[in-house]
Amino acid sequence: MDFQNRVVVVTGGAKGIGRATVESFLNAGAAVAFVDTDKEAGDKIVSHCEAGDVYFHHGDIAMEDVLYAFAEAVKQRFGRVDYLVNNACVSKKGILSQCSYQDFNYVMALGVTAPYLLTSLFLPVFTADASVVNIASSRGFMSQKDTESYSAAKGGILSLTHALSISLAGKARINSISPGWIDTGSFHNEEDYHPQYEAADLLQHPVRRVGVPDDIVQTIHFLCSDAAGFITGQNFTVDGGMSKLMIYHNDHGWTYNPEAE
């Protein structure tokens, strides 16, 4: 898709899906501002950028002052925002790992509060066809054990998405994407990365493969484009169909082997 003369903001843009998003929009002709805690990885993206206008802000958006500083820098440099991609989040595990009060609230600040506040801060400079894409997760509605911090944050951003879509009706479209298993190894400073999967890793996905960052990037592009002009308040699960697969012990080759307690 062509995003010439568009301004895109991406959080957590130095690695993984965030990096893939930054690079894809730059390649499509957009100007991109991104924020991340990994200074080396962020600087590397800027140094390798051969075309387009890119701005990297080093900082932790779980901190309120960083959010304000980043938003102000974007406004000063670009003057407007067409698309906001709220991608940044981490896991501090959960109750079985004794995830602390501080750790749990850190994940909430990064994964829910930061997207809310950035959307608020950029609201005055959103263009007429602005789009916000929140990166949620299939873990927002299904879980493995000891994932409470991350799962709660992703559940929160799912709810934030539909709430903002109503509050910002006529001002911006707000949607979310829930990735499943996305192999981001090639976007984590790993040279010549070659994934190694077992056959079951592929076959457990109805599409018969593990996801790659471009699967999410293409969905982001769609939701930002005019083709999605009638879509807001929605969540798009991009997981190769894995969350639709019903699993029973000893059925169709599936066997549950619980760990010894």
pLDDT band of 203, cuts 50, 70, 90: confident
pLDDT of residue 254: 81
Q: Is residue 255 part of a domain?
A: no
Mean pLDDT value across the chain:
93
Q: What is the rounded radius of gyration, in angstroms, for the C-alpha atoms of the chain?
A: 19
Q: Which residues pair with 8 in a beta bridge?
A: 32, 83
The strand order across the sheet containing 54-58 reads 54-58, 31-36, 7-11, 81-86, 126-135, 173-179, 235-238
- Enclosing domain of residue 127: 7-244
pLDDT band of 256, cuts 50, 70, 90: confident
Compute how many other C-beta atoms are within 10 angstroms of the C-beta atom of residue 127. Answer: 13
Following CA atoms 8, 122, 227, 161 in sequence, which dihedral angle do they give, to the nearest 10 degrees? 120
Report the predicted TM-score, pTM, of the whole model to 2 decimal places.
Answer: 0.94
DSSP single-letter state for residue 254: B
Q: Is residue 261 part of a domain?
A: no
Q: At what angle do helices 101-108 and 148-167 cross, to 10 degrees?
A: 30
Q: Say which of 55, 68, 150, 197 is annotated catalytic.
A: 150
| Sign of the dihedral defined by the CA atoms of residues 58, 60, 63, 68, in that order | positive
Q: Is residue 16 part of a domain?
A: yes
What is the distance, to the nearest Å, from the Cα of residue 261 to the centroid of all Cα atoms in its chain?
35
User: Which of 57-61, 100-104, 151-155, 206-210 has the lowest average pLDDT?
Assistant: 206-210
Domain CATH for 217: 3.40.50.720
Number of domains in the chain: 1
Q: Is residue 258 part of a domain?
A: no
Compute how many other C-beta atoms are within 10 angstroms of the C-beta atom of residue 5. Answer: 9
- As a whole number, mean pLDDT of residues 221-228 equals 98
- Token pair for 236: 């798009």
> How far is it, in rounded angstroms, from Cα 222 to Cα 177?
11
First to last CA, the chain: 51
Which residue type does 69 have? A
Q: Is residue 94 part of a domain?
A: yes
256 assigned to active site: no
